[in-house]
Structure 1
Amino acid sequence: MTPPATRTWSRRGHTPIVRVRGRSRRRLSVAALACYKTGESSRLIYRPCPDARPDGRKSFSWKDYRDLIQSAHQQLGGPIVLVWDNLNTHLTADMRRYIADRDWLTVYQLPPYTTDLNPVEGIWSVLRRTTTANRAFADPKDPITAVRRGLRPLQYRHDILDGCLTGTGLRHQPP
């Protein structure tokens, strides 16, 4: 709930101050898929996951990723080639079994420490520089609302999604 700091402005001689009440260890996890299909607009599919869950887990489980992939398959209506990082949840035995049982799903693992090859990292960068920058969240539900308000318009900004995909080399800009 601690905001990322970014540039701001104020009158000369008056340093801007962002007041935050105490420190919080609360956080928000978000999983997203940047989707591309030749001849169609790029798409963004995402799911937020607050840290206050009934099972006590503070991040996505393999089942949450499974549900996101299943939802993407239904929305996209075709086979999926998934390129993702080496997060330990992506590598669990249950997730590998799930992938092996789906003929419509092909998965490629990125090499370790290659965030520049992950288009979703570009989306997080845009979100940190716009929606969540210089904001102090007073209520645990505020980050979820802010992230949704930031990601929803990005779903319709195909130029930004294309830029994130092109920056990784996964998509080439037309001549």
Structure 2
Amino acid sequence: MRYPQGGGLTDAERAGRERVRLQAVASFEAGEKNREVAAALRVAGRSVERWRRQWREDGLAGVASKGSPGQPRLSDAQMHRLKRELDCGPLAHGWADQRWTLARVKTLIGRLFHISYTVEGTWRLLRRHGWSWQQPARRAIERDEDAVEMWRREVWPRVRAPRR
């Protein structure tokens, strides 16, 4: 079964899938064939074969849900600390410029929490907590907002080509 781009099953959906597996186990104990179980539960025959094999090898624990595969590895406190450290900037952590890259954030997480992430996993973590890849627009220090606004109101309408 393929899952949508956003992730796997919710807790309720996972519990529903586990109920289906437990119904399959009851059918196994009753001596039903795989094809009959698959038709009754409206699942693929291969899934039923896999469940039967897991049930034979490990019993009921073999078909039980293993939980969410995507539990976040950073706690809320660790994520809060990471945000504070990211706000300090790359210079505070030994890099030569003021640019955060995913590789640098990955290295920082490893240094702070001794947890290894992939670059893609680092991006997912940051995106889940509201970070974006966009860089802030750079503005000149000498920029005069009043002069810019005056130019937009008075000069630009005069130089802009008239509509035909």
TM-score, scaled to structure 1: 0.18
Looking at secondary structure, tell me which structure has more helix per residue: 2
Which structure has more relative contact order (CA 8 Å, sep 6+)? It is: 1
